[in-house]
Structure 1
Amino acid sequence: MAVHHATDIQQLQRLPWFHFLAALGALYLGAVTLRLLAYLGLPNFLHSPTPTDLRRRYGAWAVVTGPTSGIGRSMAFELARRGLNVVLVGRDPGKLRDVSDTITKTHAGVQTKTVLFDLAFVSTAQGEEAMRRLREVVDGLDVGLLVNNAGVAKPCAVYLHEFDVDAWVKMIRVNLWALTEVTAAVLPGMVARRRGAIVNIGSGSTEAIPSFPLYTIYAATKRYVSQFSRSLYVEYRSKGIHIQCQAPLFVDTKMASSVAKAKRFSPFVPTSDAYAHAAVRWIGHGALCVPNAGHRVQRCLAVVVPDCIHDWLRLREHLRQRALFQRLRSARAAPSTPTIGTTFREKS
């Protein structure tokens, strides 16, 4: 029986269509392998790309939204260290002035401009006035780089029905709508000069895992950032403009500190300065990237875990966070408001 089976295989191997199918299967397997390697961030798995002279390649000025804390502040300083002038777009005049003064004192020859803009008011009359000022500022500048960093994560670890619509609208305006309008404001100049780069800060919550329960609106807005960036990357790369979504996992910032407090000293939770140093090196290298090496390791490990396990683990962890945040909100509200029968409302 074994002899006949071997003979049948030999006869099949002599047929032309067998060789065609074998070659087709090999090509498909090779394509899948290459896509997997690209998804995992190889060959630059543990090493960042070679630094680029961003000023020479893209232009003299960078615009950074949300530059007064966390990743945005670190990105602004990292870009200034590399010789770019910086337009700082934020809502707190005192903090904007502090960042601006520190940059000019620390980096000789680097110029700064500030635009007071609370991105939560985008699409309102107040927001339109701020957007007009931003357009006026960038109109005459050689803006080569935009970093859309500003984002809102609150309310966090809650069911959708536990907060009123205003809280979700604020998150959508900042994370989605403002990012779109600011991008549209700088693109005409980049198109005219046929060079530029746009970095949109997304989230590993939409790239490394299948769901992010109790942070649903946040994750949904960041998924928009990813798709928005990918499509614009295809649209504008022939015009010399590189558009990229960067998807960090946990970074030790004010936004994530309460969530990642227990992991603060983990090698997988970099400081915002460490993240920015890696992130700037990745500008112009692909439509989607995970700049931090530790985050890339986490992403690779997440690939092999079934979706149902991810869903269970995330819901379990986020329910634990929900209980913690409920206690914190109740403690803050205790002196002035009753704690029985109240609905949670995030304070701005």
Structure 2
Amino acid sequence: MAVEAPFWFTSLAGLGAVYLSVVFLRLLPYLVLYLRQPKDLRRCYGSWAVITGPTTGLGRSMAMELARLGFNLVLLDLHPDNLREVSDTIREAHSVQTKTVVFDLSLVGTEKGDEAMRRLREAVEGVDVGMLVNNAAVAKPGALYFHEADVERLVTMIRVNAMALTEVTAAVLPGMVKRGRGAIVNVGSGSTVAVPSFPLYTVYSSSKRYVEQLSSSLYVEYKSKGIDVQLQVPFYVHTNMLSSAVKERMLLPAFVATADDYTRAAVRWIGHGPIAVPVAGQQLQWFLAAVVPEFAHNWYRLRKHLQHRAILWNLN
């Protein structure tokens, strides 16, 4: 004679099945994307790409990856020597054309910033710019209480992360509208999509929240004009955004992607929806974060970032 399972057992089993189904459905797009032939981005959007902050970290990896796919590049950075080095490296490795624009993004809204914008518009005038990657961002001074930070450095962060991104987009977008095609990739942050707050990195995460809202609205605004706008969300990646001391002591290696691994995944996601967390492991982190209560997120983040702060104070 069969014994009927207790109600609590069947209820928990049902919840577990639903949970696993949601996890599978969340990861299914990654499986589909990697099984199908990658989109020919150059043919879909155009032969040139504009990249901000291409000399280090994710920006450099993205520049190299797009050049490998055949894109000619317009490179924006504030250091002329670094621009020259990455431009020469890209041309030698991939035989594509490059243009460089020296642009200190922290100077937007000033006379020098206006001059740099003029040089950018000249660089893209008459050029088939099919893609814009707004990668450049500032995260330093790092984990500090708001009252401890130099307000000028916080204002610089807002200029680079929000104002400059807006101005560069405004310079490139009209040409895409005229040609009826293009892709804009804005690099966001897991600090805005995966957790309710990001204490001690408050201005950084707030500026990235602006990028998130701008991206989602532009996606709706320009989709019918043949332009794909996508927010790409890295979680922790091996770049200079965090100090090496924090990365060595505070992060689990399994959850930190290399810049090259991230960008290889990222380019496959361009044109596939308004938001992407390109690395499957980080997508799983995003899903798991959604089931944690807000008070637990806030407690953990404050505790963790106070540890970041202690490391920074010990270094100074």
Aligned partner of 1:80 among 48, 53, 67 = 67
Aligned partner of 2:174 among 170, 173, 188 = 188
Deviations, residues 208-267 of structure 1 (Å, cap 9, x unaligned): 111100000000000110100000000000000000000110000111353322466723
| Counterpart amino acid of residue 62 in structure 1 | A
Matched with 1:141 is 127
* Secondary structure of the corresponding residue to residue 144 of structure 2: coil
Deviation larger for 52-61 or 263-272: 263-272
**Matched residues in 1 for 2:259 and 2:242: separation?**
11
Matched with 1:212 is 198
Task: Check whether the contact 1:41–1:289 (CA below 8 A) recurs between aligned residues.
Answer: no
**Matched residues in 1 for 2:22 and 2:222: separation?**
25
Aligned partner of 1:44 among 18, 23, 29 = 29
| Counterpart amino acid of residue 172 in structure 1 | I
Distance change in 2, residues 1:103/1:56 (3 Å): same
**Matched residues in 2 for 1:284 and 1:261: separation?**
35
* Unpaired runs of at least 5, structure 1: 1-32, 330-348
Asked if 1:172 corresponds to 2:158, the answer is: yes
Distance change in 2, residues 1:310/1:264 (3 Å): closer
Asked if 1:313 corresponds to 2:281, the answer is: no
**Matched residues in 2 for 1:84 and 1:146: separation?**
11
**Matched residues in 1 for 2:255 and 2:33: separation?**
16
Q: CA deviation at 1:48?
A: 3.9
**Matched residues in 2 for 1:47 and 1:264: separation?**
30
Identity of aligned residues (%): 61
Aligned-CA RMSD value: 1.9
Asked if 1:69 corresponds to 2:46, the answer is: no
Q: CA deviation at 1:42?
A: 4.2
Q: CA deviation at 1:140?
A: 1.6
TM-score, normalised to structure 2, is 0.89
Q: How many residues align?
A: 294
Task: Check whether the contact 2:142–2:242 (CA below 8 A) recurs between aligned residues.
Answer: no
* Secondary structure of the corresponding residue to residue 251 of structure 1: coil
Asked if 1:156 corresponds to 2:142, the answer is: yes
**Matched residues in 1 for 2:250 and 2:145: separation?**
24
**Matched residues in 2 for 1:47 and 1:326: separation?**
46
Distance change in 2, residues 1:257/1:46 (3 Å): farther
Task: Check whether the contact 2:176–2:227 (CA below 8 A) recurs between aligned residues.
Answer: yes
**Matched residues in 2 for 1:163 and 1:263: separation?**
22
Distance change in 2, residues 1:129/1:217 (3 Å): same
Matched with 1:242 is 228
Larger Rg: 1
* Secondary structure of the corresponding residue to residue 197 of structure 2: coil
**Matched residues in 1 for 2:114 and 2:39: separation?**
35
| Counterpart amino acid of residue 313 in structure 1 | Y
Aligned partner of 1:226 among 196, 200, 212 = 212
Deviation larger for 252-261 or 44-53: 44-53
